[in-house]
Amino acid sequence: MTLGSDGPRTAAGAAVEAASPRSKRSLAMPKRGDQEACTALLLENIHPVAVQQLEAAGITVRTAPGAMDEDELAAALADVDLLGIRSKTQVTDKVLEQAPHLLAIGAFCIGTNQIDLEAAAVRGIAVFNAPFSNTRSVVELAIAEIIALTRRLTQKDSALHAGKWDKSAEGAHEVRGRRLGIVGYGNIGSQLSVIAESLGMSVSFFDVADKLALGNARRRGSLDDLLADCDVVSLHVDGRPGNAGIFGEREFARMKPGAIFVNLSRGFVADHEALREHILSGHLSGAAVDVFPQEPKRQGDDFSSALRGLPNVILTPHIGGSTEEAQEDIGHFVAGKLQDFVATGGTTLSVNLPSVGLEQAPGTHRLAHLHHNVPGVLARVNAVLADRGVNIEGQVLTTRGTLGYLLTDVGLDYTAEVIKELTELPETVSLRIID
C-alpha cells in the first residue's frame, strides 16, 4: 500500500494534500477487513503462523530467512507498511528515515533494543513485541541447566560418550535446599522463582525496581548481598543500555566458591573473559550461557567465544525462548497486534506509543491522531470537529512522555477540510483515517 503518497482520502474519496512523511504523516488507512493494500515484510524465520494470520487478513506478506544490514533493510522497506523482525535486525533512525510507508514494527521476541524506539515514535510508527510468549520456555531451560550443572551432567555425558565410566558422586548435588539468586525479577525472573521453589530451592532476588516477592523468595538490598551466599546466580535483567557489563570480574569474584553462573538475558551484561578465568581457577563450578556479546547473524555461521571448551559450561545459541510453543505463540500474538493496529489504530501494549484501545461502533469513522503532548491539543481537535459539524461518537486519549495519541470515532462523513485542518495543527505528528 502506498500510504501517504496520494494524501488521505475522505469517505467520498477526495484526496487531501499530505504533509511530508518525515514531519507529519497523514495516512488513509485501509477499511476494516479490507487490508489487501498492506504489505508486510517478515525477516529472521518468523513462525509461519504469523504469515498465515496476516495473509488471512488480506495483507500481502514477503519473507526473508535472515537479518538484513542497514542498507539492505532500508532498500527493502521502500514500499512496506509492516515490518516483522526478531532480535538480529537493527532498525535504526537511518532505516526509518527511508521507510516512508512504515506503519508498525513487530518484534517477534521480547527485547526491543534492536529498534530505535524513539525514532519510530516520532514518525508515528508503532512498535509491538511479545512480552510474555516465551517466558515459560526460558524458565524451563534455566531450570534444566541449573539441575544439569549442579549434577555435572555435561561432564558425565561427555566422559561416557568418550568411553569412560565415571560413576563418582563427587561434585554432584541435588538442587533441593540450595540457594538460587535471581538478578532481575521481571516476567522471567519471577516465574523462575516460583518453579525453583517448587523444586525445594531457596530463592533470593535482586531487582532495581520494587517487586513483589513471590512465595518465600527473599528480596536482597544489593547485588553484592545476593552474590555472597547463593549457590546459583541467574541473570534475567532487561537490555537497557545501563546494564552493559554489570557482571564483570568484581561480581564473579564476589560469588560464593563453587557457585554456578547462568545468563539467559543479554550477552552484553557479562564479561566472558572474566567468567572464563573464574571457571578455569575452579572458583566457579559451572556456567550456562545462552546469550553472547556478538552473536552470528545466520544459521551455520562460525561462533567464537572465550567460553568454548570449558568444563561444566553449557553454551546454547540464544535458544532460551526458542521452543515451538513459544514461537507459535509469539507469531500469533505479534501478528495480532500488527493486524489490530492496521484495522483499528489500537496500540495496547505498544512499547513506544501511548497505549490506547477503543471499541469502534459500527458505521463510524475513526481518526487516529498522534500529536506532541502539550496542553490544549484535545480542545483544538474537538474545536475543528465541532466547527465542521462532525459529531464525536467515541473518543479516548492517552499520553506517554512527549506524545499523545487520540482515537476519535465520528458519526458523519468527515470532509477533506476537516482532515486538512487536523493535519495542519502544529502539534500533529500523524493522522490516520480508518473507515
**Which residues are the active-site residues?**
266, 295, 318
Cβ 113 to ligand NAD shortest distance, Å: 8
C-alpha cell at 128: 509491538
Q: How far from 371 is each of 63, 124, 402, 424, 431, CA to CA, in Å?
A: 33, 9, 9, 11, 9
Rule CB under 6 A: choose which of 123, 179, 236, 337 binds ligand NAD: 236
Q: Are strands 259-263 and 232-235 parallel, antiparallel or unpaired?
A: parallel
Q: How far from 401 is each of 121, 175, 184, CA to CA, in Å?
A: 11, 45, 25
The interface region with ligand NAD, picked from 184-192, 364-372, 396-404, 408-416 by CB under 6 A, is 184-192
Cβ 109 to ligand NAD shortest distance, Å: 7
Size of the site for ligand NAD (CB under 6 A): 32
Looking up cell 537479518 gives 67
SS (H, E, C) 97-129: HCCCCCCEEEECCCCCCCECHHHHHCCCCEEEC
User: Does 243 participate in binding ligand NAD (rule CB under 6 A)?
Assistant: yes
User: Does 404 participate in binding ligand NAD (rule CB under 6 A)?
Assistant: no
User: Does 290 participate in binding ligand NAD (rule CB under 6 A)?
Assistant: yes
Closer residue to ligand NAD in complex, CB, 207/409: 207
The interface region with ligand NAD, picked from 71-79, 179-187, 300-308, 379-387 by CB under 6 A, is 179-187
User: Does 337 participate in binding ligand NAD (rule CB under 6 A)?
Assistant: no
Rule CB under 6 A: choose which of 162, 209, 212, 379 binds ligand NAD: 209
User: Does 428 participate in binding ligand NAD (rule CB under 6 A)?
Assistant: no
The interface region with ligand NAD, picked from 117-125, 134-142, 154-162, 351-359 by CB under 6 A, is 134-142
Contact 357, 409 (CB under 8 A): no
Closer residue to ligand NAD in complex, CB, 1/183: 183
Rule CB under 6 A: choose which of 318, 365, 369, 371 binds ligand NAD: 318
Alpha carbons 134 and 126: distance in angstroms, whole number: 22
Draw the binding track, 258-287, toward ligand NAD (x: CB under 6 A; -: no contact): ------xxx---------------------
User: Is 120 in a helix, a strand, or coil?
Assistant: helix
C-alpha cell at 99: 521507510
Q: Edge to edge, what strands does the sheet with 428-434 contain?
A: 25-28, 428-434, 365-372, 403-410, 392-400
Backbone phi and psi for residue 434, each to the nearest 5 degrees, phi listed first: -115, 105
User: Does 208 participate in binding ligand NAD (rule CB under 6 A)?
Assistant: yes
Closer residue to ligand NAD in complex, CB, 240/308: 240
Question: Hey, which residues between 56 and 115 contact ligand NAD (CB under 6 A)?
Answer: 110-111
Cβ 354 to ligand NAD shortest distance, Å: 19
Q: How far from 376 is each of 24, 82, 262, 371, 403, CA to CA, in Å?
A: 19, 32, 51, 11, 13
- Smallest Cα–Cα separation from 189: which of 236, 137, 135? 236
User: Does 238 participate in binding ligand NAD (rule CB under 6 A)?
Assistant: yes
Determine whether 252 is exposed, middle or buried from the number of CB atoms within 10 Å of its CB (0-12, 13-18, 19+).
buried
Amino acid letter for position 94: K
Give the other-Cβ count within 10 Å of 146's Cβ.
24
User: Does 124 participate in binding ligand NAD (rule CB under 6 A)?
Assistant: no
Binding residues for ligand NAD, rule: CB under 6 A, are 110-111, 131, 134-135, 138, 183-189, 206-209, 211, 236-239, 243, 246, 264-266, 290-291, 318, 320-321
